[in-house]
Homo-oligomer: A and B are copies of this chain.
Amino acid sequence: MPNPLHQCVADDVRLGANVYLSNFVNLYGCELGDDTRVGAFVEVQRDARIGRRCKISSHSFICSGVTIEDEVFIGHGVVFINDRKPRATNPDGSSKGDTDWLMEQTVVGRRASIGSGAVIMCGVRIGEGALVGAGAVVTRDVPPGAVVVGNPARVHALAAKSTGSVSYGD
């Protein structure tokens, strides 16, 4: 069983019933719904919202501006993004503060699955039941039920034709 001594969960995190957290998680200011499971080495940032019965696998990063609906699978090492033009400093060389950049929202629709190692650019909507292939780099919206693969990710199959077995790059 995970050891609370190896978990960092800030006081302002809202956890639903029966949430499972692994060792080495770093959570602050976020919300996780009932029966959701979170793997090791996961960070969930302030104001990120994760629904019920989700699985957030190890090594993933869920940033501010991301909403994950119910029953979503997030693979291992998945990275979300909320700043399209990241810079460490302003043009005058001062460190960027909270108001010096534009956060773009991302939504992952109900029952979608994001394959391991995928990178999700900001400002996209991943449709209900969609499947993002492992290692894909998603730069635009994914239609509901679609399967996308590659860098940049392209639609590989639509819902009716999806077999699953061809969904990861070939």
Chain A residues within 8 Å of B, Cβ to Cβ: 2-3, 6, 8, 22-24, 26, 35, 37, 39-41, 43, 53-55, 58-59, 61, 63, 71-73, 75-77, 79, 81, 84-89, 93, 95-96, 111, 113, 115-117, 119, 121, 131, 134-135, 137, 139-140, 149-153, 164-165, 167-170
Contacts and interface: CB of A to CB of B under 8 A. Distances in A.
Contacts of A72: 88
A53 B93 contact: yes
A53 B117 contact: no
A152 B169 CA distance: 5
A73 to B, nearest CB: 4
Contacts of A86: 73, 75, 113, 115
A134 B121 contact: yes
A61 B61 contact: no
A113 B87 contact: yes
Contacts of A152: 149-150, 168-170
Q: Give 10 closest A-B pairs by Cβ, nearest first.
A: A152-B169, A135-B137, A117-B119, A85-B164, A119-B135, A73-B88, A139-B169, A26-B40, A71-B89, A55-B88
Nearest to A153: B169
19 contacts: A8-B24, A26-B41, A26-B58, A41-B59, A53-B93, A59-B61, A59-B79, A61-B77, A73-B87, A75-B86, A79-B117, A84-B167, A86-B115, A89-B111, A116-B119, A139-B168, A139-B169, A139-B170, A151-B151
